[in-house]
């Protein structure tokens, strides 16, 4: 089974800055593929307009985790969530594989949910 999890952190979600080197350390520790993508949305003087935008085009930092092992996925998710906390919307897992999303949901609940 191949698992892919995308964690979409919208502005203000993560407890600290998401840094490539910290994610690389998690990738090395658990031997899995970790990706990082920063999306800059369209800002207006009154803030970002998000109402009629696609989820993928809104400002966000996306962490991707890919592995064939459920255990490795769980462990790496725990490290990511302990560091940054869970992303706080149900659509912040959008783009994950079905199996990956199920595992992520369980780990997020285990670590106190979507807070």
Partner 1 sequence: MKILGLVGSVRKLGNSEILTKEALMGAEEEGAEVEILRLTDYRVEPCTGCAACLLQEKGCVIKDDANFIFAKMAESDGIIVGVPCYILEATAIVKQLIDRGFAPMQQNTLRGKVGGVIVPYATRGWTQNVFQQTNTWLLSLGIHVVDQLLIHVQGLSEAPLIQDALEKSRDLGKQVVRAIQTGDTSFQGEEGICPICHDRNIRILKDMETVECPVCAVRGSLKIEDGKIRVVFSPEAIARHRWTVENLQRHFSYHLKPSKDFFIKTKAQRKEMAQKYKDYLKKP
Straight-line distance from the first to the last Cα atom of the chain, in angstroms, rounded to the nearest whole number: 29
Min CB(115)–partner 1 separation in Å: 8
Two tokens, residue 30: 């658990």
Question: Where does 1-115 show beta strands of DSSP type E?
Answer: 3-9, 33-39, 43-44, 47-48, 60-67
In the bound state with partner 1, the residue whose beta carbon lies nearer, of 67 and 92, is 92
Min CB(68)–partner 1 separation in Å: 26
Question: For binding to partner 1 (CB under 8 A), which residues are involved?
Answer: 10-13, 47-48, 50-55, 58-60, 82, 88-91, 94, 110-112, 115
In the bound state with partner 1, the residue whose beta carbon lies nearer, of 69 and 102, is 102
Two tokens, residue 54: 């696609």
């Amino acid at each position: 089974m191949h698992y892919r999890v995308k964690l979409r952190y919208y502005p203000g979600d993560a407890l600290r800055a998401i840094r490539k080197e910290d994610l690389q350390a998690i990738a090395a520790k658990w031997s899995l593929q970790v990706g990082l993508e920063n999306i800059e949305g369209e800002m207006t003087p009154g803030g970002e307009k998000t109402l009629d935008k696609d989820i993928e085009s809104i400002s966000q930092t996306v962490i991707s985790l890919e592995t064939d092992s459920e255990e490795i996925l769980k462990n790496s998710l725990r490290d990511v969530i302990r560091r940054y906390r869970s992303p706080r919307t149900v659509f912040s897992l959008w783009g994950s594989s079905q199996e990956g999303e199920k595992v992520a949901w369980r780990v997020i609940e285990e670590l106190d949910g979507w807070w």
